[in-house]
């Protein structure tokens, strides 16, 4: 459809249980930018409930505009099903960072963990406060806050992603009774009790994520899938000071509030959580050097980043070659049809005409028109070799009409230069032969012309071959005349200018006989006297 944006797939980025994410590129002239395109997995495209949830994510995430939210920029549907486009974030997820720390036997610095949690709280607050087009609050709840859905960019920004199961209060979330949505280890007690969640349910999940960043281990994990949710419902909130003694006291108190079983005991908004975390970071900065997320990621994941960039560059190069193969469209110099207007040769009056036929495969002969009254003149056609392209051969008639008015000079391609030289040499030779024939006709000993007016002989109806002269009819058995019949006087070049012969007309007209043959074949006229032998 007009104005549709063309996204070209480069390669896969990630894949989950319900959706898969590809790296795509958009090109508009010199503009080029990469994005992340999310789609439902092929076997889930026809599920109405999952399609509705997927479109809900596009609608909710697309309405949030904040630096700490991975917003949806575009949405559509094609033969593969619905899709949504988001910014491509060069970085790692919080879950990958925590796994890397655990593999190295280390834990995130306290100040860095607090900075990450503060940015997550800012993004959640932006989602909780989003309004519809009429300005009414949607009371949006993410419902799936977890380390896998927190993206850490090399630019130092933290973004909340994946609003796939987000719900607006009182609107369609397609939640069935007895169905839990989200990761069990991060669900709030009210969600496990199948109660209506609100923004404070997201704050409980944020408290679990912050605790795991500081402790370096999972909080509510159960190998059987049941013990974790049971602990959420029954156990009191844990004390982070037991696992991380250096945690500031205000953060320890904040974690108790975030992990409270009763939503009323939790902070009212995510903005309050972000402010308290920022205050704790400012106090730590007085005691130890402050750490920034961007440089920390660069140090920890420098090799991974370079490898990922090389991999994506290879995928982009491969995709470009597959879509625009080298040499697929090569535009060179266009060969033009050349119309050459050459001066028409004077008609040759000789004992025998000099028929010249030198057709060339890629040549356009000089064209001319022949009227009925001029059918007896035999001009010498001079072929001019010209490269003619297929597309321009259809406009040959236009080129012929233009050649009558003016001459044009069009450069001939190098590939056709050699045949053109040979054809021009042949044309020059033919002109020389015609000139020699003219000279022989005017040489001494040739029969002198008479003063009788020239009468064109009747053109026979039969067509003779082009290279064969028609024989004169046999004379009656009578004594020969004393004087030979006077030869007809050919018209002079000044009396009537010859017209060049068009290729189509020359092909259709019958072959002309030499003037001498026509004179001998012409019947005796009543105004001519013949002396007979007695």
Q: How far apart are CA 73 and CA 444, in angstroms?
A: 97
Quickly count: other Cβ atoms within 10 Å of residue 249's Cβ: 10
DSSP string over 177-193? TT---S-GGG--HHHHT
455 burial type by CB count under 10 A (0-12 exposed, 13-18 middle, 19+ buried): exposed
Quickly count: other Cβ atoms within 10 Å of residue 516's Cβ: 18
Q: Distance from first CA to last CA of the chain, Å, rounded?
A: 101
Quickly count: other Cβ atoms within 10 Å of residue 306's Cβ: 10
Cβ(191)–Cβ(197) under 8 Å? yes
CA distances from 505 to 207, 359, 368, 500 (A): 96, 15, 9, 10
Nearest CA to 276 among 292, 258, 293, 295? 258
Pair of tokens at residue 87: 């910014």
Q: How far apart are CA 422 and CA 440, in angstroms?
A: 27
At 85, which helix (H) or strand (E)? strand 81-87
Active site residues: 144
Q: How far apart are CA 326 and CA 186, in angstroms?
A: 52
Cβ(452)–Cβ(522) under 8 Å? no
Q: How far apart are CA 474 and CA 472, in angstroms?
A: 6
């Amino acid at each position: 459809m007009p104005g549709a944006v063309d996204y070209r797939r480069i390669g896969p980025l990630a894949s989950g249980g319900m959706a898969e994410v590809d790296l795509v590129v958009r090109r508009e002239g010199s503009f080029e930018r990469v994005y992340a395109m999310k789609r439902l997995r092929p076997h889930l495209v026809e599920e109405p409930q999952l399609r509705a949830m997927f479109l809900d994510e596009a609608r909710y995430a697309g309405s949030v505009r904040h630096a700490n939210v991975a917003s949806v920029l575009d949405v559509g549907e094609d033969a593969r099903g619905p899709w949504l486009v988001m910014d491509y974030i060069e970085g790692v997820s919080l879950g990958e960072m925590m796994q890397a720390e655990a593999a190295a036997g280390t834990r995130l610095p306290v100040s860095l963990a607090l900075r990450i949690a503060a940015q997550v709280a800012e993004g959640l607050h932006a989602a909780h406060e989003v309004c519809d087009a009429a300005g009414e609050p949607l009371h949006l709840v993410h419902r799936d806050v977890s380390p896998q859905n927190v993206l850490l960019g090399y630019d130092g920004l933290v973004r909340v992603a994946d609003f796939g199961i987000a719900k607006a209060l009182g609107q369609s979330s397609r939640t069935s009774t007895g169905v839990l949505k989200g990761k069990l280890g991060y669900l709030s007690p009210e969600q496990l009790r199948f109660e209506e969640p609100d923004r404070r349910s997201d704050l409980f999940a944020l408290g679990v994520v912050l605790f795991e960043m500081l402790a370096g281990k999972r909080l509510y994990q159960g190998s059987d899938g049941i013990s974790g949710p049971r602990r959420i419902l029954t156990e009191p909130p844990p004390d982070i000071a037991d696992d991380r003694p250096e945690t500031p006291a205000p953060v320890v108190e904040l974690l108790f509030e975030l992990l409270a079983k009763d939503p009323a005991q939790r902070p009212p908004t995510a903005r309050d959580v972000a402010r308290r975390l920022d205050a704790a970071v400012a106090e730590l900065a007085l005691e130890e050097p402050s750490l920034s997320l961007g440089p920390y990621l660069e140090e920890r994941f420098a090799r991974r980043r370079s490898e990922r960039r090389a991999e994506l560059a290879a995928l982009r190069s491969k995709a470009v070659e597959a879509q625009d193969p080298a040499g697929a469209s090569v535009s060179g110099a266009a060969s033009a049809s050349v119309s050459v207007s050459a001066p028409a040769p004077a008609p040759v009056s000789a004992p025998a005409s000099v028929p010249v036929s030198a057709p060339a495969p890629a040549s356009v002969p000089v064209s001319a028109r022949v009227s009925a009254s001029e059918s007896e003149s035999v001009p010498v056609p001079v072929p001019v070799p010209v490269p003619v392209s297929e597309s321009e051969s259809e406009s040959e008639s236009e080129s012929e009409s233009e050649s009558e008015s003016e001459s044009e000079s069009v450069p001939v391609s190098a590939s056709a230069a050699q045949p053109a030289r040979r054809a021009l040499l042949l044309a020059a030779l033919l002109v020389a032969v015609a000139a020699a024939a003219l000279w022989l006709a005017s040489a001494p000993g040739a029969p002198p012309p008479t003063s009788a007016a020239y009468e064109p002989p009747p053109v026979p109806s039969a067509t003779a071959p082009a290279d064969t002269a028609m024989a004169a009819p046999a004379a009656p058995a009578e004594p020969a005349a004393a004087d030979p019949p006077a030869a007809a006087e050919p018209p002079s070049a000044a009396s009537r200018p010859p017209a060049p012969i068009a290729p189509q007309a020359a092909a259709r007209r019958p072959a002309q006989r030499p003037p001498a043959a026509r004179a001998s074949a012409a019947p005796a006229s009543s105004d001519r006297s013949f002396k007979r032998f007695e």
